Amino acid sequence: MRPGSGPRSMLEAWRSDRALQALLVFVGLAAVAAAVGIVLLWPTGAGRDAARQRADDIGIAYERLAATVVEVNDRACSYSAPDDPQTCRSITVRVDEGPDDGAQVALPEFSLEYDRTAIRISPADKVILGYEASNDYYFFVDRDRRTPLLWLAVLFAAVVVALGRWRGGLALAGMAATLVVLIAFAAPSVLDGNDPVLVAVVAAAVIAFVSLYLTHGLNVHTTVALAGTLASLGLTLGLSWIFFGLADFTGLATEEGLTLPLIAGDIDLASLLLGGAIIGALGALDDVTVTQVATVAELRYRSPNLSVRQLVASGIRVGREHIAATVNTLLLAYVGAGLPLLLLFAVSDQSLAMAANSELIAVEIVRTLCGSMGLVAAVPVTTVLAAMVTAGAGPIRSAEAAGEMQDDPQAPPAGENRSQQAREPEEPETAPRWEDFAPEDDQSGW
């Protein structure tokens, strides 16, 4: 067990450590600001209801129902002409839910010349239908992928819990809390007409507090990581604000950007892009800050006599390797998401500079570079904070070692060679086990 784990040890350290006192004041003020923001920006639901009504009025909202394909036939289109023959695919489905549950419905025919969405549809396939109650009209929307998605989610949860055990379960709970904040607070609040950037900042702060403390526990370790995350997130926000403004994005470069003004005309799409960039940067920041704090904590535990400068130097040395991999990860994530678009630009006649100037590409460039600079800054910021707090924690010695020394009549007198023993813990003699690769439940702090 590492000393200093849990809220009680954090309170004891706070009384004697000025660096930790300042850190807790900063985190406390951020918590108060996030709580006030949640209260002031909490959605009423009026904006969401109005947007749904407008979507229904213009015909882009419809009910979605599950169905099973019964029959597929390829034949001449009903509008085919002798001088312009065209082949269409006719699909008959059995509706599995809704007002016509169990009934067979013939869907509108698909032209195989222009519509490729139905080419691989076969009998017994599960599909999703759109249904307009006003005229009792069914039409094909998409394949039904909910079952494989559910199995994938179950497999993911099983793997996380198998390796992370209790900590893995808490990580899943943190992921669920993140979804709740985004779906129940962020999206409806923006639809209510609140500033998307302000909503995104409050949502990101709440997510950081909930996910970090829920996953890693209420202790010094997590508090330092949280402070580094919030500070780096503030830097990312400042950089993104400047360069999103200089790039003068409209937010109308995507299909979603063109649809939103039709149902929620008071949304600032440019601010919505900036808010999305802030929330997107948070996940990578969490990863970097938690890793840096854990690195400094382990260095301090193994070598209690290291100075603040030595802790910072060693921590940043590890952080450089982490940043090099993380920055490339961000780039690949954004490029991979837009790979079809990248292929279209590759076959176009545009130069690389002109392709980058397109808003679709430029938004991802600004997101990647601003987010990466926030990640780079998170390493020294978090490392310095962790080194200052650990240096003020006094000598570190494991509780087990302390108990053994008190019971051992051959133990040296107090103060003699104890720092040497703390620096050189005995290595386990047993062979590695599967459980050794999972975190211990009581290793959440220092």
* Whole-number pLDDT of residue 419: 41
pLDDT digits (tens, 9 = 90+) for 371-403: 888 888 999 999 999 988 876 654 444 333 334
pLDDT digits (tens, 9 = 90+) for 25-56: 999 999 999 999 999 999 998 888 888 888 88
d(CA 98, CA 170): 37
Is residue 60 scored above 60 in pLDDT? Answer: yes
Backbone angles phi, psi at 111, to 5 degrees: -80, 120
Q: Give the CA count within 13 Å in the CB-facing half-sphere of 161.
A: 10
Q: Residue 5: which pLDDT band, with cuts at 50, 70 and 90?
A: low
- What's the whole-number mean pLDDT along residues 275-302? 88
Closest CA to 127 of 143, 138, 104, 115: 143
pLDDT digits (tens, 9 = 90+) for 143-200: 999 999 999 999 999 999 998 888 889 989 999 999 999 999 999 999 998 999 999 9
Strand partners, 260: none
Of 386 and 6, more confident: 386
Tokens of 88: 């269409």
Bridging pattern class, strands 110-111 and 126-132: unpaired
| CB proximity list for 43: less than 8 A, separation 6 or greater | 185, 188, 189, 191, 192, 194
- What's the whole-number mean pLDDT along residues 124-136? 89
Backbone angles phi, psi at 91, to 5 degrees: -125, 130
Mean pLDDT of the chain: 81
* Whole-number pLDDT of residue 14: 64
Per the rule left: phi > 0, alpha: psi between -120 and 50, beta: everything else, 87 is: beta
- What's the whole-number mean pLDDT along residues 199-219? 92
| CB proximity list for 75: less than 8 A, separation 6 or greater | 87, 88, 90
Write the CA distances from 380 to 88, 275, 278, 316, integer angstroms: 62, 25, 20, 6
CATH number of the domain located at residue range(s) 62-144 in this protein:
2.40.50.660
Residues of the chain with CATH 2.40.50.660: 62-144
Beta strands in 332-420, from DSSP E residues, in sequence order: none
pLDDT digits (tens, 9 = 90+) for 154-169: 999 999 999 888 888 9
d(CA 67, CA 336): 32
Is residue 436 scored above 50 in pLDDT? Answer: no
- What's the whole-number mean pLDDT along residues 57-78? 88
Q: Residue 338: which pLDDT band, with cuts at 50, 70 and 90?
A: low
Q: Is the whole-model pTM more than 0.85?
A: no
Q: Residue 368: which pLDDT band, with cuts at 50, 70 and 90?
A: confident
Instruction: Determine the 3-state secondary structure of 91 from DSSP.
Output: strand
With a pLDDT cut of 90, the percent of the chain lying above it is 34
Tokens of 324: 């090099």
Q: Residue 364: which pLDDT band, with cuts at 50, 70 and 90?
A: confident
Q: Residue 10: which pLDDT band, with cuts at 50, 70 and 90?
A: low
Beta strands in 47-99, from DSSP E residues, in sequence order: 63-76, 87-95
